[in-house]
Structure 1
Amino acid sequence: MSYADSRLATLEESVPAPLWRFVWFVFEWIPIAIVAGLWEFASGTVVQRTILPPPSAVGTATWELLSTGEIIPHLQVSLYRIAVGLALSIVVGVLLGVGMARSKPIENVFEMFLALVYPIPKAALVPLAILWLGVGTETAILIVFLACLLPIVMNSYNAAQDIDRNLIWSAQMMGVPSWQIPLRVVIPATIPSILTGIRQAIPIAFIALVSAELIASNQGVGFEILRYSQVGAYTLMFAVLVIISLAAFFTVRGYEWAERRLIRWA
């Protein structure tokens, strides 16, 4: 431990826990406060107020959209698409990652495919997805699924490769069939890394979802952002951006809270 870390640990021990949590809360929000202050200053001075509405106006519009319930149906549609796309990527990603780590033929088949396909921007696949699935929920789910797949695959793959071989040998000695080892031994042992991959995929899911809804949807928050921008309602457009940002923030924080309790034993 460095000198600075030891001093910080000593200070943390000497300060009451509620006060320490409040101090850290303030420090976490200082960057956001600075950005909001610069934004407020730039609105109407550096950039026209009609194009860059101030945070005060955006905050009011955000409250109006939420209190009137106007944005709620679109938010529900978007969250549903994220949930389905992310769930599919978790199932496929974990099975594929563990399969690649446990089977050389599977790794040879999919490793090159993932390396070639993943760098393609997922928004570039939207027109093709529209031809396949049409405009709507299915296309958005497909884009979210593709965007979230690689982080989960790679975390599952790396964890399964690094698993303690003694666990596998012990299971084999206890009579566990070879075909059951991935499900009964490998996947449970790699849960912490799998959860990390899911944590990385959640923000990606929101980014991919909005990108897809901007192009291939007639509902959802991405569609609302596009609709407000087209009619010049930039305050409402920024308000929808704030709402989806808050939804992503609370989703990640809620997931982290659940993750800490799920892998308390790890």
Structure 2
Amino acid sequence: MSYADFRLDGLEESVPEPVQRIAWFVFEWIPLAILVGVWELMSGTVVPSVVLPSPFEVGAAVWELLVTGDVLPHLQISLYRVGVGLALSIVVGVLLGVGMARSQPVENVFEVFLALIYPIPKAALVPLAILWLGVGTETAILIVFLACLLPIVLNSYNAAQDVDQNLIWSAQMMGMPSWKIPLKVVIPATFPSILTGIRQAIPIAFIALVSAELIASNEGVGFEILRYGEVGAYTLMFAVLVIISAAAFFAVRGYEWAERRLIRWT
């Protein structure tokens, strides 16, 4: 749920829909407008404009990068890495979370592993990943996978523990084999919580991606941010930051749109 949705929850029944939409727009975009305004005031005053270009200069640079297509190959590579890493974390996270909730031996094996690895900043694992996989796509995918894993595991685990036992007993009475119950009963019952875990993992995936590409890549948006920063092209550096932020924003919004329809169908 977005900040605007949260603020408008109490208005749904008492305010006409057109007014709700205007209020949603205000709550959604006014904070961004304030941020841009503060950025504009600080550029050239508190912070030298060479180091902090104005938002208008950055906006022009974003347009230039998109029109010329210079950033598009790097953006495509980064989105591929996010997609693969997130997809792997969804598959492994759901199976692991449900398995831990339904099997004590599985929980005993993996609980300690997750508790030990999660507090470690994932960027700290990049040098180790480089030793294993080298510099490039595989390392970035691994870091995204590890960063996204726990939110999905926790949501799946907590939801699977709360599944109505009557559903499981009913499936057993109908002759369903025990190994099919997690797939046929538990996972469908935990579907809304699984979707929530994925929603939480999407922004984490982009954070982990940029961290990995800053250290262990020669392509992608993180590499472009580092490259422009090293040569002092700060306007282009901020432009790439804006582009990847916009990509993450639309990824979350697109997922929320799809999630509402999936929950409605299920």
Give the TM-score of the pair, scaled to structure 2.
0.95
Q: Could you tell me which residue of structure 2 aligns to residue 94 of structure 1?
A: 94
Q: Could you tell me which residue of structure 2 aligns to residue 170 of structure 1?
A: 170
Whether the aligned pair in 1 keeps the contact of 2:152 and 2:198 (CA below 8 Å) is: yes
Give the TM-score of the pair, scaled to structure 1.
0.95
Q: How does 1:23-42 map to 2 (within 5 A)?
A: 23-42=23-42
CA–CA separation in structure 2 for the residues paired with 1:57 and 1:195: 38
Cα offset for 1:248? 0.2
Q: How does 1:135-174 map to 2 (within 5 A)?
A: 135-174=135-174
Identity of aligned residues (%): 80
User: How many residues are treated as equivalent by the alignment?
Assistant: 260
Unaligned runs of 5+ in 2: 1-6
Instruction: Kindly provide the amino acid, as one letter, of the partner of residue 8 in structure 1.
Output: L
Q: 1:85-142 CA deviation, whole Å, 9 max, x = no partner?
A: 0000011100100000010001011111100111000000000100100000000000
Q: How does 1:19-58 map to 2 (within 5 A)?
A: 19-58=19-58
Q: Could you tell me which residue of structure 2 aligns to residue 234 of structure 1?
A: 234
Q: 1:230 to 1:134 in 2, by over 3 A?
A: same
Whether the aligned pair in 1 keeps the contact of 2:163 and 2:189 (CA below 8 Å) is: yes
Q: Could you tell me which residue of structure 1 aligns to residue 179 of structure 2?
A: 179
Q: How does 1:245-264 map to 2 (within 5 A)?
A: 245-264=245-264
CA–CA separation in structure 1 for the residues paired with 2:77 and 2:170: 47
Q: Could you tell me which residue of structure 1 aligns to residue 11 of structure 2?
A: 8
Cα offset for 1:265? 4.9
> Residue 120 of structure 1: SS of its match in structure 2?
coil
Q: 1:14-66 CA deviation, whole Å, 9 max, x = no partner?
A: x3x23431232022111111111111011001110000000000000011111
Q: Could you tell me which residue of structure 1 aligns to residue 3 of structure 2?
A: none
Q: 1:174-193 CA deviation, whole Å, 9 max, x = no partner?
A: 11001110011001111100
Whether the aligned pair in 1 keeps the contact of 2:11 and 2:20 (CA below 8 Å) is: no
Q: 1:20 to 1:219 in 2, by over 3 A?
A: same
Report runs of 4+ in structure 1 exceeding 6 Å deviation. 4-7
Q: 1:89 to 1:7 in 2, by over 3 A?
A: closer
Q: Could you tell me which residue of structure 2 aligns to residue 215 of structure 1?
A: 215
CA–CA separation in structure 1 for the residues paired with 2:40 and 2:239: 15
RMSD (Å), alpha carbons: 1.5
Whether the aligned pair in 1 keeps the contact of 2:148 and 2:204 (CA below 8 Å) is: yes
CA–CA separation in structure 2 for the residues paired with 1:238 and 1:46: 17
Cα offset for 1:160? 0.4
Instruction: Kindly provide the amino acid, as one letter, of the partner of residue 229 in structure 2.
Output: S
CA–CA separation in structure 1 for the residues paired with 2:8 and 2:207: 35
Unaligned runs of 5+ in 1: none
